Structure 1
Amino acid sequence: MSSGAMHALYLVPETNYGEIPAAPAFDLVRQTGVTIGLSKDTLQSAELRPDRQITSIRHGTRRIGGDINFELSYGSQDALLEAVLCGTWTGNVLKAGVARKSFTALRHFSDLTDVPYWTYLGVEMNTLQLTMGANAIVKGTFGTIGQDQPLSTAAEPTGATLGVATEAQVMDSFTGAMSIAGKQLALTTEITLSLTNGMDTRFVIGSDKTLRPTLKRSTLTGQVTAYFESGELVNEFIREGDVSLTFTVSDPEGNQYQFSLPKIKFTGGQPDVTGEDDIMLTMPFTAQYDKTLDSQISITRIPKAPELTSYSFALDGSSNGATVTGTAPTQTVTVANKSTTPTTTLTISAKPPGASLGAPAIKTAPAAATATATISGGKLVVTNKAAGTTTIVLTDGAGHDTTLNYTITA
């Protein structure tokens, strides 16, 4: 008896629609349930017999369909989001477009002993359902459409390699944010998105397999549910106004996705009362094309800041004849002047780039209250009133310290 706990789903992009690539490198899909499968029409003979029996039953056209259920995690569903939007990630931004992508899907029932590998060809992402609710993991479903399923096999396709899952933690609603028309909404309980590409099978005489399905308009709808505290959203529905919707979801590591719908129109909204409980306001909407964005939606990946390893310093111009020597994590600034109060400005570069700057701390100084160090605009400004060496330590609070020895010579 096969167990769902022993099941895996793999996908590989197809070069030619409905054809498994040579030496395919499959990616393991993180999922909570899969219903992809083959279905056929049934054709029954209408021939009449005196014994009342059915003469013949035939199988009709073949089609692949079903769902991939998932919990959103950073980087894990990027290829499928790209496919369902028919877009392409440009840097960390994805918008809806017209670039179609199909996959060969491989299901592995590892506890089957005869034919554990099941292959599906020409699989495309036709729909997306995404739900962010209070006190919940962000969940979604990709609805698929495909061409065919060959016979199940005892081994994976020839030359195939099977990847491993990403390790990012799932995203939740605890650290997310939402705004409509630029205003934060604090009492939202649920946001849902529903995207459909309108793909449908196309059959012709001479084949029981579909041509590549038609691609219709990208239709994006959704719904905002919130505690009823103001009539402002309902007024937007009444006046038929266009508003923007932006919401962000995060994981515990700080990775984020930001969903931006710059032009939505509410298609309903009424505060129904069904009892003595809190009144909930449900606002369905439809997204429209935005000329500035050139899409009705964008998804932006916001990776967590990289972990700081060290800083490096460079002179910001020439100040007091100062020189910088050494390499991170320990460098030395030498200033050959003590007749005035030398101030040296240094440009800070975090390693790796993008890491957060820590706070400077005076570790030792030649005399009490003779040195100051401040950070402003990514620059370190050091002032020392006495000859000697001041040791300045920059730290991010996680043990990644960088030492700068600031020396004034007599």
Structure 2
Amino acid sequence: MKEVSSGEMLSLCKRRGFIYPAYEIYGGIAGLYDYGPLGTALKGNIADLWRRTYVLQEGFVEIDGDTIGPEAVFKASGHVDNFADLSVTCKACGESFRADHLAKGLHPNPDSLSIEELQGLLRANGVRCPCGGEFADVEEFNLMFKTKIGPGAGRTGYLRPETAQSIFVNYINLYRHCRERLPFGCIQVGRGYRNEISPRQGVIRLREFNMMEAELFVDPEDKSWPRYGGIKDRKVRLVPNTDGVEVEMGIGEAVDRGIIGNETLAYFIWVTYDFLTAVGIDPARLRFRQHLKAEMAHYASDCWDAEALISFGWTEIVGIADRGCWDLSQHMRFSKADLTAFKRFDEPKEVERDAIRPKFGAIGPRFKGAAGDIKRQMEAMDASAIHDGLVTVIVDGTPVDLDADHYDVVRVREKVNGVRVVPHVIEPSHGLDRILYSCLEHAYAERDG
């Protein structure tokens, strides 16, 4: 069978009404594409099957969040400070390129290199711009689209780079809706925006793209899954980060050998495989690659990419990660909201904990009539409520930070029915555009004559 090139595929997609270059009569813009009649129908069918998988089969709920958010949300998530790619700009023509893309073929994993390492690699190999010009120094480029919310000075806002944050900031509402029990899951299908440096791979790298993300909130001490036993003997192709060698292995064996971190993560790797093959991904051109230690987010305990082999090579189309308690802990720290879950014991237990004891001599004179309510708030807290030496209480509807002059931390022993925990998050994140394009390539064939 003849292999199709990405250029031929995109040309066919345009002629058949699947994908059109956006704003083509004005010259088009790299990284922006529109879906034609058939592409829109196919995209809707893929999203509908994904919804049925997660809502009907797995019991998740669905929300639809805003695509624009205030800076505080993305400061908490780390996107304001850390959501950047490394860029180089040609001194002659002014064209910019992703530095790690220029290093492909020069290093087995350019994504894992620091600014200094990447710059040294490019210069040592004499990498230049296609125009022949010399590149300036490698620098960070934040990928979020920045805007103002409201007229005048307004509030700084950003177009969301992922749908997940809408789910995290709605955790309290979702926890109540799901009867205050773990585990529970929430999905969202929607647009994300990333101001890519040099989107030159068709619909694989877009500045506005479609995502299907699931966030599963689980007990940090229990990452088993009730339906895991039914799939543990199913086999998938894995590329562990220990040696990078592809191997076909049973899901259960991978968990038992410590290759996949836990049962829940393993179960959703299988759910991802089942979904992708159902929508048209060729199983012979599908594998799951574990992130190298150097490329894994510092808060993630394990992360796997579902990769499809297409004309661009092995390409990530889904990421499945155990994100730990990072997301909720960050939003707790920045918003001062309680984003915990109550874990009830089968029988009451006697436990020790570090409790907060209010200092009435400091609180009474300062807050007078509100002192009693502040006392009750602080007595309900434990040491986990302290951030940067401050405890936050609500006074007349306004958050107020109290320093160590207003409280002591004491060790107490008490009988309790349960404890509050910060749930961990298992996240399967699907790139809808990449899945659709991969399905089209895997379905493509030419007849002789």
Q: TM-score range by the shorter chain?
A: under 0.3
TM-score by length of 1: 0.22
Tell which has more relative contact order, 1 or 2 (C-alpha 8 A, sep 6+).
2
